[in-house]
Amino acid sequence: MDTTFRKIRNEYFSLVIIFFTAMLSVFAQNKSINFETISWNEVVQKATKENKPIFVDAYATWCGPCKWMANEVFTNDDVADFYNNNFINVKMDMEKGEGKTLAKEWKVQVYPTLIYFSSEGKFIHRVCGTAEPVEFIEIAKQAINPKENLAALIDEYSNGNRDSKFVSDYLIKMADAYFDVKEQTTEYFATQKEEDLYSEHNWILIEKTVNDIHSKEFIFLEKNLKNFMENRKLMIS
């Protein structure tokens, strides 16, 4: 009798252990960024109260890359832990409700646009397009670094830094974030001699920003297309 009871008991506890192990495994694989479903003003109030910066996933329902980020990146354990610990997070459909107004205010042109704000709701950083989990965490770290985020670069440019390398890097990052820097780019290239255009950062800037076929930069690119393609291969490799 005792032997039968012990056997049943042991089998029961074994099943319980297997069940809870399976449940823990399921929960461990289901981490995700916790997104708020409140108004923008309420988000800022919450962020101010908790002294946390804000991350906004500015998306559209039809956007394939947005869905990929939601399914493959926002559900990554490391991403979820980092963003939940360091940010107040918001998903916002920029074509509905409050999102339509904010899309104009924030000058959102492409999806996804990943935007970062201070705890007071002031812009600090943004990037456009998808990012793998490790890169997405690095973007967040850059966003909360007051020396590296776009807000810091904008301030430095506004305060008169016109070092060639700084300005070209600044314009590249602004262009990547889909800010209109046509005027600043024209001003910058007006300071560059033809021999300056061979620098790596100027190659990249020309590729990303120049579309006026009559500009000296476009003509230079056209004349040196072979060298440009070879340089791009070296830069990518």
The set of catalytic residues is 63, 66
107 — alpha (psi -120 to 50), left (phi > 0) or beta?
left
- Alpha helices in 107-224, H assignment, sequence order: 133-143, 150-158, 164-176, 182-190, 200-209, 216-223
Q: Is 90 helix (H, G, I), strand (E, B) or coil?
A: strand
φ, ψ (nearest 5 deg) of residue 20: -70, -35
**Separation between Cα atoms, residue 166 and residue 64, nearest integer Å:** 34
- On the 0-12 / 13-18 / 19+ scale of CB atoms within 10 A, 201 is middle
- To which residue do tokens 């908790």 refer? 50
Give how far Cα 33 sits from Cα of 141, 155, 157, 179, 237, Å: 16, 31, 34, 27, 33
